Amino acid sequence: MEKRTKSLILGDRIIWVVIVFLSFISLIEVYSSIGKAAYDHGWSISATVVKHVAIVVVSYIFMIGISHVPFKWFSGMSKLGFWLCLIMMGVMVVVSVSGRITGAVDGHAASRWLDDIPIIGQFQPSEIAKFVLLIFLARQISKYRESLKDFDTFKKLLLPVGVISILIFPENFSTAALVFLSCMVLMYVGGVNKKYLLRTFLLVAGAVALFLILCFVLKIELFRSETWVNRINEWLNSNKDEVTQTNIAKIAIASGGLPGVGIGNTVQGRYLNESHTDFIYSVITEEMGLVWVLLIIAAYLIFFIRCMSVARNCDSFFGQLTVAGLGFLITFQAMVNMGVATGYLPVTGQTLPLVSYGGTSYVLTCCAVGVILSISNHNIKKKRLANQQVVETEQTETEDINTENNTENESDN
């Protein structure tokens, strides 16, 4: 039984401990925080919790399966994945535009899902796009490794990043920003010309800032621009006396104190619209207290550190970049979610990875972890093989010495 378990659980053991710990927190707190969403949407709490458990189980099956795949396969698969994501994101834009023109979609609501898909129901293409894009970008950087300082190479790397980010942007500003920044970091780590990266970042940041300013001043309503403006305006002009989601989240955090109010005893969670997804960090803090929250923050930091260790020990440039990119994206998203809950960032709609309730996001995050574990397993095999060769060499040398000694003794005799 133990051998079978070891053969299934591949890769860095510390990363496994972190993932299991976060999943444990998720199962407890989704059950505790799902009440308001269940009431608002007419869900059955027990059925929703069972669904979340099923999602976690399926996610682990995918993660374990992917961890057994030779990581070099992901390079070729990412190319196909990129084109599939491009098609799906294009379909999403068409669906969103047509829905808003016909009035089928609320002008302020997000249209991020492909609905009525057999077996899985809903699917969020932007979730798979952000992970596939990073792996594809790692492939491209390793492919053009010898010419990363050239402008022509930079354009080839930037094109897929720009196209996917622009397609995500209309319905999910925060995810587009998260993906773009993660890709910029990956290109920086990969050795792309820093001058081109800085100019591109300043140009994009300036264009987005100008767009938002025009939305503020001219009251432009393009896709979800009014929602973005309201969220930023609320963040910049925070009034502690107003009943806002951010203020309720901060009250929940303050109410928890050191010991917390106890699991299932949340008060503020009953007033948070997305207490089981976007604001689950606030509910955790209220119920479980400061100590557990610090453990959760430490878990993400340990996860990031272990990812960097896996990247550093990998003998493949593609593997190094893939682990670094995926590790950064997951950790950065966690920091963004916590920043929103504590009021340091405007509301973004980003979930807490491996903790928040979710189907597409949870499964795909575990798939990304599976890729990291696959590369980690490659490192372990390589190290084990190197150690075995050292032992065999030492044994051979010992046998040679013994043979020489025996020969000398025989000649003396």
User: Which of 121-125, 134-138, 379-383, 401-405 has maximum average pLDDT?
Assistant: 134-138
In the predicted structure, residue 109 carries a pLDDT above the cut 50:
no
Q: What is the pLDDT of residues 288-310, one digit of tens each?
A: 999 999 999 999 999 999 999 99
Alpha helices in 103-172 (DSSP H): 125-143, 151-168
Flag whether 410 is in a domain. Answer: no
In the predicted structure, residue 112 carries a pLDDT above the cut 60:
no
Question: Residue 252: its pLDDT value, please?
Answer: 87
Torsion of CA 4, 7, 12, 16, to 10 degrees: -40
Asked whether the beta carbons of 133 and 372 are under 8 A apart, the reply is no
Token pair for 154: 């930079």
CA atoms of 249 and 285, how far apart (whole Å): 10
List, as own/partner pairs, every contact residues 95-98 make where C-beta atoms lie below 8 angstroms and the sequence separation is at least 24, other chains included. 96/170, 96/171, 96/223
Residue 239 CA: distances (Å) to CA of 16, 235, 267, 273, 347: 42, 9, 21, 19, 15
CA atoms of 387 and 347, how far apart (whole Å): 50
In the predicted structure, residue 59 carries a pLDDT above the cut 90:
yes
Domain limits for position 201 = 2-386
Token pair for 101: 């023109």
Q: What is the pLDDT of residues 24-57, one digit of tens each?
A: 999 999 988 888 777 777 788 888 889 999 999 9
Token pair for 186: 């990956």
Domain count, the chain: 1
Higher pLDDT, 399 or 255: 255
Flag whether 392 is in a domain. Answer: no
Buried b (16+ CB within 10 A) or exposed e, 73-111: ebbebbeebbeebbebbeebbebbeeebeeeebeeeebb
Flag whether 412 is in a domain. Answer: no
Determine which of 132-136, 167-171, 250-254 has the lowest per-residue pLDDT on average: 167-171
Q: How confident is the model at residue 392 (pLDDT cuts 50, 70, 90)?
A: low
Flag whether 396 is in a domain. Answer: no
Flag whether 407 is in a domain. Answer: no
Quick one: average pLDDT of 314-325? 95
Flag whether 413 is in a domain. Answer: no
Quick one: average pLDDT of 362-391? 88
Flag whether 362 is in a domain. Answer: yes
In the predicted structure, residue 179 carries a pLDDT above the cut 90:
yes
Question: Residue 101: its pLDDT value, please?
Answer: 63
* Percent of the chain scoring above 70 in pLDDT: 84
CA atoms of 59 and 65, how far apart (whole Å): 10
Flag whether 118 is in a domain. Answer: yes
